[in-house]
Amino acid sequence: MSGSVSTCDVAIVGGGVVGCALARELSRLASLHIIVFEKTDMVGSGASKANSGILHAGTDTPLTTLKGRLTSRGNELIREAAKHLHFGLKMIGALVVARLPPEVEELHKEMANSAEKGIPVEFWDHDKLLLEEPNLSPALVAGMFTPLCGVLNPYELCFALMLCAMQNGAELRTNSTVVGINHTDNANYPLQLVTSDGEQVMTRFILNCAGVHTDTIAKLAGTDPDFVIVPRKGEEYLLDRNVTYGPKRVIYPVPSKVSKGILCIPTVDGTLMVGPTADVVEDPEDTCTTADGCKRVFDFVRTMCPKISERDIIASFAGVRAAVSCGDFIIGPTKVKGFINVAGIQSPGLTCAMSIAEYVKGILVTEGLHAEPRLDWQEDISPMPKFYSLPLEEQARLADVSTPKGALFSKVVCRCEVVTEGDVHAAIDQGAKTVDGVKFRTRAGCGRCQGGFCTSRILEILSQRTGIQIEELTKCGPGSTLVNGEHIAVLTVDRPFPLQPPLSASTVIPTNVDVVVIGAGPAGLAAASGARDAGASHVLVFDREASSGGILNQCIHSGFGLHHFKEELTGPEYAERWVATARAKGAQIIPSAFVLKAQNLGKKEKVINALVGGLGVVQVTAKSIVLAMGARERTRPQVRIPGTRPAGVYPAGLAQKLMNIYGKLPGKRCVILGSGDIGLIMARRMKLSGADVVGVFEVLPTCSGLNRNVVQCLFDYKIPLHLSHTVVKIYGKKRIERVTVAPVGPGPNFVPDMSKAWDIDCDSLLFSVGLIPENELTLQLGASINPSTSGAIVDSNLQTTLPGVFSCGNVLHIHDLVDNVSEEGKLAGRNAALYAAATESNEGTPTPGTKTVSLVAGDNVRYVLPQTVTIPADLPADSKLTVNVSLRVKQALSGPCIQIPEIAFQERHQIAIPSEMVILKVPLVKLSAVSSTSAISVVASGTPITSEQLANTVNPVKALDDAHKYYICLRCPNGCPLVLTPSADGNHKVTGNKCKRGIEYALSEYTAPMRTISMTIPIANAEIAKLPCKLSAAIPRDRLLEAAAVIQNLHDIQAPVHMGDVLIADFLGLPGVSVVATRSLAALEGSPNTSTDATTASATSTTPSCTTTASIPPNPSAELPANSSHSSS
């Protein structure tokens, strides 16, 4: 539109809910040309989006105000429009509660006002209040109930209003800021509107609906407005839908003269929202959340709902309302003919939007607008599918793969909100061009993980549909790209990813099986193998990913398999071996299978309804279930970092997926918050890919990850680790620009010392602040949850409180090592198979004489697992059987003794810290002596380690004195602290090691430090963009960055490739060092190489020895997985 000149009858400035409602209302008129100008990338992206989403009844607004006269009509119009526009609306009613006796009088005044306006209300005394809303505070005095209050989805309302207007001829200009309004000599078009892209539009009328900028737009028109917008910010906090302490209705306090107060709002989507604040701000674009605002919201709302907790926050946001001093709407013509203000639209502006539109239409007629009603006006719009909101039968109908779009609805993109590819495509059909555009139309990214799992797949679909490269796609319009824009490799992967191939229609999924395993990560694959080993005849694995292996497929680094496979593997290698093992043992793995519903109908009747890509909804009945759904990352809202919500802020796992699967760099100057292992590993990965990693900041006085990772991920690359520091604020409107960091005081509050805070310029912030077990299905089944682990309560068979339902891996409790996850999975699978095989007469019934002993966390122990141990009745007195007891200590201890005093069991350790799990092997014979009615404690004692001492333990290389050297061993996950005493004769002494490898490592570190790395290479004709690879042997540490640069410049890799294929021999001129593929990738169906052998690569490096070799025979256990496909969220 740049530089163009056009005309229209009505120009609407601002695409908020009022502007959209006006466009729809005016589209009823024939031959009326309407254009809406919105400065952002989509309608409803200002205050209309960031509000409480309440359809107010109008009990508090008197008829003497314009608000009071428009609210009831607006309520009525929105309820009627919902039938035609299909936006979310639930009429749940509201309660205005009196917290103190004097406020009861205010309730009666509001009831009188309601009676005058014809609004039905009821007075509820204290007893009635608590009877109807038992989660409210007993201290509340009374309440006023109205049934005419509802909750709605505000952005859905905006989209629906605009879609209706557009299908009736209205036009929309996005990313179009009005920068000038001129007066013309043309009597028909007296006003000229000029936009930021140079478009000039001559018009009869301009409707000023610019929200917080209405006074600015009015000045552009030369009206000399008699009002001033006072921007008033409101912060809101969204809580998890699984909370059980929320009310059923909207809860208001008695309103003040400034606002309706801080509310408790059950949203239309099933979550709980609290807020808003009401703070005057200078900047009308100030949408920062604040620590003070969060505290005020939760302190206040707990006076009404005392159990509400900040721990359940999943999202936070702020909106700026267009307040004016008079407190009422300012709507009407001005001294400039044709220019009409629609200003001061604060609460209840959302409710009044459609009645405001009616009112303004009347003003336009009075001002000379003459138009007849359209006879062909279309009131109804095509509804968005909203797969997540449908009953199971409707979901099955929508995902019927025999229908044209059924296959798209058979594949889930967003696991938290159950959004399918079909939903995403429908959003794009309705105009979504950005990640937020998809999010607000489908809810993809609105759930617990806040887009951590689904963002990458949404980018992929958007790229495919729009033809825009992933690095050019944005979060919310220009300036908000999500990745850096520079590919990691010289070779650009310029094709969009293919849609995941569906299962063949001939695939048969049995309807009755012995064991169903939900999840195909390391725990699920091991459980399937264990179940088959124990005799289960049919084991079915539902894998919600398209490529089995879970998170391991993007964990290209080494460190896996040392215990189980007795060699160090990368994540993809470990996953591929377990996939091959499970298949070889006869387990059936179903990819792209998302469990919609799981029911425990009886001891041996577990019914699972799953949505399977390419097949639709299937139902399976199993005798037992193993839950192995893994975990999700904690997000920014859960650690309550205030500030803006720009692009470039990622969970570390999403950044890892973007790099290792998609080949996209999240940023070039990065800050990492949290020192979990994934954060440390991503610091190294970013550095190897050319990014500047400013530092890793950890709020605790010690690193949360393994010490060995501090050495090989931070120290080796000179990346600073700042313990007892945190990020206190994020800046940037579109993309992150900087953060403020500060040291913190001691726990548990970790109060930042702002006098020592400083700013860091950055274009990306990665969060590595812990994992949370994904137990939504566990809760759905009805199993009990342990609040200390956020996983199920289990016995020593890993059986939950539901007979026949077992749990293992990170969904049970968060592990440090994947080998332990697999061991736990095998145990759960074995016991699930034994349960399935038990006869009806003895299933779930303990053998006479069987004893159950309860374990509880005692002194200095945060949790212990399992919670109960079953002792067989026929246990021999000399039995060597043991049970694994896992625990974490509450505080760091030096020389700890872990004890079970009642059975005289103890183990001594060098050190125990809260971030590292301790596993005891407790003899069953000792436990058999305990009374079955007893609960015995597991306790830890030792010398507490101070914060200073604890920080010193993660210093990877330090001088103890002139005669000693200190190292952290990297040869295994134990990370032994080693002390080397040099000797002039070369017979150096090493202490602190638990095995010979420690001596070898210390000597190597002292003389010539050696390391290996894992990277990715662009690959053509494969299901993913990047092939993971590693060095087959260690190289000098000082050549790591050189090696990474050479690997990144490889090209001409073609699928298929097998795990173990040599891509370069004698790498960097080092004999015996090869670049080796660590994942098998099949060629895309129909590509030239579909049936050819794996091909090798050439390197652009000038190093003569970087030449290709023939590929070596693949590992026999690493055959191409039958369900190998792009790993999507």
Active-site positions read 56
The CA-atom distances, in angstroms, between 964 and each of 63, 254, 471, 1006, 1017 are: 84, 70, 50, 11, 41
| Residue 708 tokens, joined | 């060995």
| Residue 128 tokens, joined | 């009635």
Residues paired with 886 in a beta bridge:
865, 919
Q: Which amino acid is at 1066?
A: D
| Residue 579 tokens, joined | 């996939």
Give phi and psi for 436, each to the nearest 5. -65, -35
Give me the helices (H) in 61-100, please: 66-85
CA atoms 201, 207, 212, 217: torsion sign: positive
Give phi and psi for 864, each to the nearest 5. -135, 145
Taking Cα atoms as reference points, which of 453, 607, 421, 627 lies closest to residue 541?
Answer: 627
| Residue 942 tokens, joined | 């030792």
Q: In the chain, how long is the greatest CA-to-CA distance?
A: 106
The CA-atom distances, in angstroms, between 813 and each of 555, 611, 658, 822 are: 20, 26, 26, 13
Half-sphere exposure of residue 741, counting CA atoms within 13 Å on the CB side?
21
Interatomic CA distance for residues 931 and 927, integer angstroms:
9
Interatomic CA distance for residues 487 and 664, integer angstroms:
6
Interatomic CA distance for residues 73 and 76, integer angstroms:
5
Q: Which amino acid is at 241?
A: R
Interatomic CA distance for residues 673 and 668, integer angstroms:
16
Residues paired with 863 in a beta bridge:
888
Contacts of 435 (CB under 8 A, 6+ apart): 445, 451, 455, 458, 459, 462, 473, 474, 475, 476, 482
Taking Cα atoms as reference points, which of 1001, 909, 912 lies closest to residue 957?
Answer: 1001
Interatomic CA distance for residues 855 and 832, integer angstroms:
22
Find how far residue 158's CA is from the centre of its chain: 25
CA atoms 957, 960, 963, 966: torsion sign: negative
Cβ neighbours, 10 Å, residue 953:
18
| Residue 514 tokens, joined | 């012995």
Interatomic CA distance for residues 363 and 333, integer angstroms:
8
Q: Which amino acid is at 423?
A: D
Strand order in the sheet with 54-55: 54-55, 150-152, 89-90
| Sequential DSSP letters for 931-971 | -TT-EEEEEEEEEEPPHHHHHHHT-SSEEEETTEEEEE--S
Interatomic CA distance for residues 858 and 937, integer angstroms:
5
- What pairing do the DSSP bridges indicate for beta strands 918-923 and 122-124? unpaired
| Residue 156 tokens, joined | 């859905």
The 3-state DSSP class for residue 180 equals strand
| Residue 394 tokens, joined | 């409707």
Interatomic CA distance for residues 1112 and 1062, integer angstroms:
6
Contacts of 397 (CB under 8 A, 6+ apart): none
| Sequential DSSP letters for 187-228 | SS--EEEEETTS-EEEEEEEEE--GGGHHHHHHHTT---S--
